[in-house]
Chains A and B, each alone.
Chain A
Amino acid sequence: MKSKIRKLVTFVEETRTEMGKTVTPPTRRAAAAAVIENPFAGRYVEDLSELMEIGEELGALLAERAVAALGISGPSAESYGKAALVGENGELEHAAAILHPKLGTPVRKVLGKGAALIPSSKKRGAPGVALDIPLGHKDAAFVRSHFDGMEIRVNDAPRANEILVAVAVTDSGRPLPRVGGLTKEQIKGEDGLR
């Protein structure tokens, strides 16, 4: 592997009730995160292609882990998101190199489809900083019930020369969606939007 992984962390959340109302079936989401060495920490490097390849590797590894943590098949996943948190000696552009050019394709391969843009966020921060991974429906970005987010944090990462990279996958939308908009039953799934 190109990535030098110090640590892998998975998170699974299952919501059974909200405001006293039972959520049937419970909503479930998982995030898989890798803490990797930042090969470009502490200096300016023009060509970021090594990080793009690391992103490709991590896309497959993290999507597989997140789906496995939910105990579902890839195609049964409903929404997804990705995010990266760069340690203080790195650059925001390092997160962009991991997330945007090559990470998406292997994620979509694990999930079977994935016509929609994978929503993303990135920031630079200290160990233990919270990372909010945005979530959207994997085949139609406008499905309103699936606009969501998942907070994760790893108390000892990222160290200054590390990057925390995360992929989140769900088998559901928000617990009690009732603000209208496009529903998942209405998806055409052609353009990734509706």
Chain B
Amino acid sequence: MPEVELRKRVVIVEEIFHEGGPVAEKPLCRAAALTVIRNPFAGRYVREIAGFMEDLNPLGLEMAKLLVEALGGEAKAIEGYGKGAIVGQYGELEHGALWHVPGGYGMREILGNAKAIVPSTKKVGGPGTRLDVPVTHINASYVRSHFDSMEVGIADAPRGDEILLALVMTTGPRVHARVGGLKASEIKGEDGLR
């Protein structure tokens, strides 16, 4: 499979102190690592693309490391995660799907034993397109306080023959979480759901 060619990398960190309510004891932090790569399959239909997933593994790992660093350097501080991709206009949605395995692999590798499925989203779009990356608890998808998302995007990407790959990590619940449901303290952590 073709080599992974990086054009640009962007890291965004949000630190949220409150949202109109009491100031959080520990601010909620969200970070996104975005990498713009050349889409080796742009402009034509290529039947066999799956091999490229393996080529993306090192990138997934590197981006996951960047996120942990951006959030203070401690993997155990990470409580939520998500991933996504925006495929430039000469590509197809299926090219974005190539990110599922390597993106998830990278984060699991760095976070140790994360059990929950990594929520994801993807679309085809032009430069500046925004993507709302879904976020859930890393060990139990049903933890209601950790259902979250982070909007990401880059003004000049993805160009037509590029893919923008995204990973997101968060350090806690929504800043004023108060709609009940399964709590992080109640997780059994066996099936990745509860």
Contact = CB atoms under 8 A, between A and B. Distances in A.
Contacts of A8: 14-15, 17
Nearest to A7: B16
Give chain B's interface residue range (CB within 8 Å of chain A). 20 to 34
A62 to B, nearest CB: 12
A76 to B, nearest CB: 19
Interface residues of A, number: 21
Interface stretch (B4-12, B48-56, B76-84): B4-12
Given A6-B19, A16-B7, A130 B12 contact: no
A9 B154 CA distance: 15
A11 B9 contact: no
Contact of A15 (B7, B16, B18): B7
Given A12-B10, A155-B130, A17 B5 contact: yes
A122 to B, nearest CB: 18
A170 to B, nearest CB: 14
Contacts, number: 53
Interface of B: 5-20, 130, 151, 153-155
B155 A11 contact: no
Q: Is the interface of A mostly helix, strand, loop or mixed?
A: strand
Interface in A152-189: 153-155
B15 A9 contact: yes
Interface string A1-45: 000011111111111111000000000000000000000000000
A56 B155 CA distance: 29
A80 B155 CA distance: 19
Q: Which 10 interchain pairs have the tightest Cβ spacing?
A: A155-B151, A151-B155, A8-B15, A12-B11, A14-B9, A10-B13, A17-B7, A9-B14, A13-B10, A15-B8
B155 A16 contact: no
B166 to A, nearest CB: 14
Contacts of A10: 11-13
Contacts of B154: 13
